[in-house]
Amino acid sequence: MTFVILLGSLSHGLQELIWNRRVRRTEIKQAPLFIIGHWRSGTTWLHELLALDDRFTYPTTYVCFNPNRFLLTERFDAHWLGFLFKALLPEQRPFDNMAMGWERPQEDEFALCNLGLPSPYQKIAFPNRNPYREYFSLEDVPSRELRRWKDGFVKFLKQLTIRNPKRILLKSPTHTYRIKVLLELFPDAQFVHIVRDPYTLFLSTMHLWKSLYEAQGLQEPKYDDLEDYVFENFLHMFQKLEEARPLLHAPRFHELRYEDLVQDPVGQLRKLYDQLELSDFERMLPKLKQYLEETNDYRTNRYDLTPELREEITRRWGQVIERYGYASGLGTPMRRNDAA
């Protein structure tokens, strides 16, 4: 960690010296398309599907874990240190066995965290704390600090634009809380919200955080507050989504269910393209069919839900369960990997 920090600090200074003027002049001509939804609801899979459309650019794993130097070092690292970087990254994610790769789409909240902006994802490193919870929705962040966050976020997107001047495709569950702030920055932004059976979602989210705390935590995790953390964040997220919903009109917002996407990915993506008026769906259809063929053998993780826990989930999340039509049970069996 010390070596990476030193390397990042030195190369960041050099990148700022070389690129800072161009970054300031860069314009983001098309508002981003944001994929939003709770952790483990299918946001990663949807991100990978939409990233097949070559009209989009997106932050990769390399970019998100080297956000302060990727303009300077990405080509060098890929060409000369590719074997080393490949060895440093697992081939699959530890919590669901989904494929990983430095060039695959990645969640931009990791980039913001690695840039030094306050982020609730610091809890991954310090699982026994709850750092920066106000940075979920940003509504209680002091104006000066909020401006710093906005400037850092926009600067990162400008750097992505320099890297590849196409429309930016972003996904992060944290953005589900921040729709109002994101619309202040990008009034023409579009949002795709994916939902999943909350009973499965709760168990999968618990598994996610436990896996990340064990793999990347700098503390021995106690898990004392983990269930309440998951319960409360879910409700907070959907509260903020509902508050922002009046601002989200077609063709700027589309909502879909993970289970429907699994059963008919081509049909569901066609609806998404129609709703958002993205056009040219047929252009990416061959890539989509090839991707689906290559990943067709994945299976979801299976979880055991006790009657007591089911009752507790129903009690605490009942309103959301009813709203999205999941009151009948645990959902349908999935062929897809348990992708977040």
86 confidence band (pLDDT: 50, 70, 90) = low
Q: How far is CA 65 from CA 39, 46, 140, 259, 340, in A?
A: 19, 21, 27, 31, 18
Residue 329 scores a pLDDT above 60: no
Q: What is the mean pLDDT of the chain?
A: 90
CATH fit for domain 2-323, picks 3.60.21.10, 3.30.70.330, 3.40.50.300, 1.20.1260.10:
3.40.50.300
Q: How confident is the model at residue 101 (pLDDT cuts 50, 70, 90)?
A: confident
CB atoms closer than 10 angstroms to residue 37: 27
Q: What is the DSSP string of 218-268?
A: SS----TTHHHHHHHHHHHHHHHHHHHGGG--TTSEEEEEHHHHHH-HHHH
pLDDT category, 82, cuts 50, 70, 90? low
User: What are φ and ψ of residue 256, in 5° steps?
Assistant: -150, 160
pLDDT tens, residue by residue, 233-274? 999 999 999 999 999 988 999 999 999 999 999 999 999 999
User: Confidence band (pLDDT; 50, 70, 90) for 339?
Assistant: very low
Checking if the pLDDT of 332 tops 90, the result is no
Report the pLDDT value the prediction gives residue 9, as an integer from 0 to 100.
82
Sequence spans of domains, the chain: 2-323
pTM score:
0.91
Beta pairing partners, 105: 60
**Under a CB-based contact definition with an 8 Å cutoff, are residues 160 and 169 in contact?**
no
The interaxial angle of helices 281-294 and 43-50, nearest 10 deg, is: 130
Query: Using 50, 70 and 90 to split pLDDT, how confident is the model at 132?
Result: very high
Nearest by Cα to 136 from 149, 126, 152, 151: 149
Q: How many residues does the chain have?
A: 340
Contact 234, 38 (CB under 8 A): yes
Model pLDDT for residues 269-297, shown as the tens digit of each residue = 999 999 999 999 999 999 999 999 988 86
φ, ψ for residue 88, nearest 5 deg: -80, -20
Per-residue pLDDT reduced to its tens digit, 135-162: 999 999 999 999 999 999 999 999 999 9
At a CB cut-off of 8 Å and minimum separation 6, what does 226 contact? 206, 209, 210
**What percent of the chain has pLDDT above 70?**
88
* Token pair for 127: 């699982």
| Structure confidence at residue 79 as a pLDDT band (50, 70, 90) | low
* Neighbour tally for 269: CB within 10 Å: 22
Indicate whether 60 pLDDT > 80.
yes
Does the pLDDT at position 335 exceed 60? no
Task: Count other Cβ atoms within 10 Å, centred on residue 213.
Answer: 22
Averaged pLDDT, 10-30: 92
Give residue 95's pLDDT band: very low, low, confident or very high (50, 70, 90). low
Residue 10: band (very low, low, confident or very high) from pLDDT cuts 50, 70, 90: confident
Beta bridge partners of 255: 193
